[in-house]
Amino acid sequence: MLPLKDVEEREDCRIDGERMYVTGRSECIPLEFINDSIVKGTVIENDTLFMMGENSVARMYNGHVVLSQEIKSDQWAVSLLSLEENKNIKYRAITDRTKIKNVENITSLKNITVEDDKKDRFKIKPNMKQFDELIYD
């Protein structure tokens, strides 16, 4: 919510009825007038979160989107998208040594890093119970 006065004073905004036009945006923003001096609007920004290709899979699992991308035969990079209470999307992946230790506490892992790899690689094969623990860890 913003004071209507602040919106009207901005050079890059123009209010026309119940819509606000912002310089550089192709769409208008619907406005809700809370009272004579306060307005509320919602702006939705889109971004690329995951590039889907021939060897990529996205599946819903317990309210999350599991993103899998095949790296080599029988080796998949897996990440997770979760909707938070505040409606933000949280991206999660196992990316550092601390998290690797947490994974080791849940399921066995094998270091499959090779000399050309820029980062450590690990292979895990959790059962469904362990997968659920990884999601909610």
Which of 15-24, 72-81, 101-110 is the most confident on average?
101-110
Residue 130 confidence (pLDDT): 92
Q: Which of 87, 96, 88, 91 is nearest to 66 (CA)?
A: 91
Q: Which of 124, 114, 117, 129 is nearest to 74 (CA)?
A: 124
**Could you tell me the pTM of the whole model?**
0.57
Strands ordered across the beta sheet of 38-41:
2-3, 38-41, 29-33, 19-22, 13-16
Q: What is the mean pLDDT of the chain?
A: 84
- Band of residue 17 on the pLDDT scale cut at 50, 70, 90: confident
- Band of residue 50 on the pLDDT scale cut at 50, 70, 90: low
Contacts of 87 (CB under 8 A, 6+ apart): none
Residue 65 confidence (pLDDT): 92
Question: What is the DSSP pairing of strand 13-16 with strand 38-41?
Answer: unpaired
- Band of residue 53 on the pLDDT scale cut at 50, 70, 90: confident
Give me the mean pLDDT over the 41-66 stretch. Answer: 81
Per-residue pLDDT at 35 exceeds 80:
yes
